[in-house]
Homo-oligomer: A and B are copies of this chain.
Amino acid sequence: MNSPTPSFYFPAPREQRFCTQCGAPLTQRIPPDDNRLRDVCEHCGAVHYQNPRNVVGVVPIWQDKVLLCRRAIEPRYDTWTLPAGFMELGETTAQGAIRETDEEAGVEIALGALYTVIDVPHAEQVHFFYLAQVLDPTLNPGPESLEAAYFSLDDIPWQELSFRTVSTTLQHYCRDVEMGEFPVRHYDVARPFPKA
């Protein structure tokens, strides 16, 4: 913090203009032995590949109810979500799912099996949801949640859910509870959730 603090921070967008290694302006070209355009530094030779991100979360269950969080951040501010967020470096998908549940709902869980694996190509993401049992129902939502609350499966606010990956995971869960079996479910979500 040896320079003036900017008035706000924002996640760096996918579009890259300068090299992270030497600071020179980037060029778009197809590197040798590659087959698509990359952001390349013609000064130092660094190729700035970009890749999809993983979102990791849980279906947290307490006595036949599911725990949802009301989002305090964009996108989809003020809609209900399963606890989930971006996977961080150095962790597994399971560790990330536990961490996000702690950060967003403040509850301790016993993580169960991997449940849904969902490709979301338009968002350049893959989403993972684990089954989970809440160990103590006391809630302590963090700054990314307006509130956290338990919902009977009959009372899930289907019209106020945040993302297609959340609503489809909950739809699968409600059906699989009837069957008593929870196989891994893998599918694509091809289109964005309609705007509220």
Q: Which one, B26, B183, B184, B188, contacts A92 given CB within 8 A?
A: B188
Q: Are A183 and B183 in contact (CB under 8 A)?
A: yes
Please tell me if A90 contacts chain B, counting CB pairs below 8 Å.
Answer: yes
The reply on A22 being an interface residue by CB < 8 A is yes
Contact A18 B9, CB 8 Å, known A42-B3, A113-B186? no
A58 beta carbon closer than 8 Å to chain B:
no
At the interface, is chain A mostly helix, strand, loop or mixed? loop
A10 to B51, CA, bound (A): 16
> In the complex, what distance in Å separates the CA atom of A26 from the CA atom of B119?
32
A41 to B7, CA, bound (A): 12
1/0 contact string of A117-154 vs chain B (CB within 8 Å): 10101001010000000000000000110000000000
- Asked if A194 CB lies within 8 Å of chain B CBs, one says no
A11 CB contact (under 8 Å) in B16, B27, B43, B49: B49
Contact partners of A86 in chain B: CB under 8 A: 49, 51
Is residue A33 contacting chain B, with contact meaning CB distance below 8 A?
A: yes
A6 touches B89 (CB 8 A): no
Tell me how far the C-beta of A112 lies from the nearest C-beta in chain B, rounded to whole angstroms.
11
Residue of B nearest to A87 (CB): B52
Interface residues of A (CB under 8 A from B): 1-14, 16-27, 29, 31-33, 35-36, 40-54, 86-95, 103, 113-114, 117, 119, 121, 124, 126, 143-144, 183-184, 186, 188
Q: Can you list 7 pairs linking A and B with CB atoms under 8 Å apart?
A: A12-B49, A16-B21, A17-B20, A18-B19, A93-B126, A95-B121, A183-B183
